[in-house]
Amino acid sequence: MKRRVLESTASLKETMVGYYLELGSAAAAKSAPVAWCTSTGPVEILRALGYKVHFPENHSSMLGAARTANDYMTRAHARGYSQDICSYLTADIGAFLAGETPFSAFGLEEVPKPDVLVFNTNQCRDVRDWYEFYGRTWDVPVIGIESMHMIENVTDIQVDAIASQMEDLVPPLEEIAGTRLTSDNFSEIIALSKECVDLWKSCMEMAAHKPSPVTFFDSTIHMGPVVTMRGIPAANEYYRLFLSELQKRVDDGVAAVEGERFRLYWEGMPIWGKLRELSELFAALSTTVVASTYCNSWIFDALDAADPFRSMARASLELFIVRSDTPKESYIERMVREFSVDGIVFHDSRTCPSNSNCRYGMPERLREQLDIPVITIEGDQIDLRCYSSEQTKTSLEGFIEQLEDRGRPGEGVGD
Amino acid sequence: MARFLGGIDCGTWTTKAVVIDGDARLVGSLVVRTAADLAGAAERAFDGAIERAGITREECAAIWATGFGRTNVSFADGTRTELDCHARGVHHYVKGAVTIIDIGGQDAKVVRLDAQGRRISHKMNRKCAAGTGSFLEEMALRLGTSIEDFHDLASGFTEELELGSFCTVFTGTEVLTSIRQGKRPADLARASYRSVVKRVLEMDIFEGQVVATGGVIAHHPVIVAMMEEAFGGTIIVPPHPQEMGAFGAALACLHEIESVRKEDAS
């Protein structure tokens, strides 16, 4: 069975390269201030103030996808950054220490240096530690939002507290940028950002169709603009194109994986250096990974141009990663139902505990509650020392055999 | 009905081949070291199995392969994972819901089956060799003996010692420390087995019928006794535990042939 390549991939590359080139040229000409921002951070404030924004997580995923991350991590380890902390952090810092970047493929000599680094610890503490390294290295300010975690229900008190932290970011950001935040400009950026995440959500929902026109592995690539370009019209233009291609596939009954037999949910980080290998493995098993927590993490339903700070705050707190297990399990249960999922794959990412939801009994609970097969594979988002291709292949193939047997009532192995 | 069928389990340490007849009776088998030539090991094992069965290759209607090297067995007509094949093999001998512990050269697996023999779940050991045959071989090396003599060495124990089960290298260091402190190799060999047991028993919940298979179980029966002691129940060791994966592959082959025959007849 074969994987089908999406035609919009060429436009995606153009869109992303255009973004990196604009970032690089603005930094080189000093025509705009440069901020580094976490991927679920307050990018809309930065854009409204005219910042060009770089996302180190995006950079690390590129190192992972190119399978060069392991070449760099050791440099960070040698500086005291453990093998057991975020491999995005160690690979990114290692690449900086080596003076190398995948951006060189787009003509950028280096990652544009920041005037300010802005974090939101809704993802994890590592993002702050990561930015503090660069803050110390270049003596630039590191500011951000310290988030609550393990949130059961998002309350107004929590929203107000985060909104207040966001508002506190504005004066220093205005000073660095040398400009003022206007409500019109801010609302316009929020509206663009909301349109972007709505379009992305519509793209992800296409996978509810049978057969699915798109796989998780496609989505990890096509999510580039929603991660890095929220608030920029070009991102929205791209997702209109992507959505139309997916809609056409649905209309024409074209499957992303020919002969789709099984539909899976992926919980946890992608394994960037093994996307192709895993994509081909699942395609060979006529199995589509139709939905994922990860790709859905950039759907910020709460964004509202009429209430910028509070809606951004609410969006950052509604995020899956910052919730307790009860709402997380309810979310996965809904995904399983809406996407007609036959089984769940949990990726236990060695250096990303925040995105490894298999460590406190969730797979076992969901197997019981939803009567659905689950499997946990070990790996890491980019540290391939933590991943065994052979063991993973056997485990996933065995999982699909299990789904096959499950589909034959009354017929066990060899009866 | 097919006269004879073959199953090959091309594992990381050893390659096992079996021949079964149309009634799923094992009529010949052989285990050889896998080493670096997976295809060659499969050939040698299968040649030996058919010789022991007293048949020719032509009398074997089909051959299925399993194990880490299953796709390297060029003469196989089909493949299944070792998870599936161990389940099939065990279900042939032990009816009802079971939990299977399979300890091989490089990995340990726990597979749970429902009353119909369908897999409910499986777990594989984390990447470290702790809890596998490789761990025991490493400990044998540290204690100056061979894996073949390790079981005999442990049987001469006089003191129960504790070793860690988290990491092979850590445990190896513990062994060296214990030797320096004058501990006896026999006692450390027994503690090594206990380390494997601890590691395996933390992989899942063991209740109801528990079945043990794999080369480590076949050649190191003390592990079974230790596991029974640890979880307070009986562990069933079916016939030919080391060849259970190959036997399951042959059963999968038989099952497929019979399914096709039924479809053709209907």
What domains appear along chain A, each with residue ranges and CATH number? 9-406 (3.40.50.11900)
Q: Note the pLDDT of residue B119.
A: 93
Mutation to test the A interface, candidates B26, B64, B118, B262, most A Cβ within 10 Å: B118
Going edge to edge, which strands form the sheet with A142-145? Answer: A52-54, A34-37, A116-120, A142-145
Nearest residue in A to B12, CA atom: A390
Per-residue pLDDT, averaged over A15-22, amounts to 95
Mean pLDDT of B9-37: 94
Q: B123 vs A376: CB contact, 8 Å cut-off?
A: yes
Query: pLDDT of A134-182, one tens digit each?
Result: 999 999 999 999 999 999 999 999 999 999 999 999 999 999 999 999 9
CB contact under 8 A, B117 and A413: yes
Banded model confidence at residue B13, pLDDT cuts 50, 70, 90: confident
pLDDT at A2 over 70: no
In this complex, which of B91, B113, B122 lies closest to A398 when CB atoms are compared? Answer: B122
Minimum Cα–Cα distance from B118: chain A residue: A412
What is the spatial distance between Cα B112 and Cα B205, in angstroms, rounded to a whole number? 10
β-strands B4-10, B108-113 pairing: unpaired
Q: What is the percent of chain B where pLDDT is above 70?
A: 99
The whole-number average pLDDT for the span A42-58 is: 97
- Report H helices in B54-167: 82-93, 133-142, 147-155
Segment among A96-100, A103-107, A245-249, A411-415 with least mean pLDDT? A411-415
Residue A409 above 60 pLDDT? no
CB count, 10 Å around CB of B239? 11
pLDDT at B260: 83
Shortest distance, CA B211 to any CA of chain A (angstroms): 16
Domain spans of chain B?
1-94+240-266, 96-237
B84–A401 CB contact, under 8 Å: yes
**Across A258-277, average pLDDT:** 97
For residue A414, pLDDT over 70 is answered with: no
Surface of B (165-224) touching A: CB under 8 A: none
Task: Report whether pLDDT(B1) > 70.
Answer: no
pLDDT-derived band at A308, boundaries 50, 70, 90:
very high
Please enumerate in sequence order all residues whose Cβ is within 8 A of that of B146, keeping only pairs 6 or more positions apart, or say none.
B140
Determine, for residues B92 and A414 on separate chains, whether the beta-carbon distance falls below 8 Å: yes
Chain A positions with Cβ closer than 8 Å to B: 367, 373-376, 378, 386, 388, 390-391, 394-395, 397-399, 401-402, 405-406, 410-415
Higher pLDDT pick, A317 / B264: A317
- The tens digit of pLDDT for each residue in B91-142 reads 999 999 999 999 988 889 999 999 999 999 999 877 677 778 888 998 999 9
Of B119, B126, B248, the CB nearest to A405: B119
Residue A238 has pLDDT above 90, yes or no: yes
Of A390, A399, A405, the CB nearest to B68: A390
Q: At residue B43, what is the residue type?
A: E
Residue B170: what pLDDT? 84
pLDDT tops 60 at residue A413? no
* pLDDT band, very low/low/confident/very high, at A412 (cuts 50, 70, 90): low
ipTM attached to this prediction: 0.85
Same fold, B1-94+240-266 and B96-237: yes
pLDDT at A1: 58
pLDDT tens digits, one per residue of B191-202: 999 999 998 988
Question: Tens of pLDDT along A333-380?
Answer: 999 999 999 999 999 999 999 999 999 999 999 999 999 999 999 999
**Higher pLDDT among residues B5 and A405, named by residue:** B5
Nearest-angstrom CA–CA distance, A264 and A298: 20
| Superfamily grouping for domain B1-94+240-266 | ATPase, nucleotide binding domain (3.30.420.40)
Q: Is the pLDDT of residue A415 over 60?
A: no
Give me the pLDDT at residue B265, please: 80
In terms of CATH, what superfamily is B96-237?
Answer: ATPase, nucleotide binding domain (3.30.420.40)
CB < 8 Å to B91, chain A: 412-415
Residue B266 reports pLDDT greater than 80: no
Which is nearest to A31 in space by CA: A185, A177, A174, A182? A177
What local confidence, expressed as pLDDT, does residue A20 receive?
95
Confidence tier at B264 by pLDDT (50, 70, 90): confident
From chain B, pick out residues whose CB is under 8 angstroms from the CB of A411: 116
What gap in Å lies between CA A266 and CA B205, rounded to an integer?
25
Q: What is the pLDDT of residue B2?
A: 58
Indicate which of A364, A371, A413, A415 best probes the interface with B, i.e. most B CBs within 10 Å of its own CB: A413
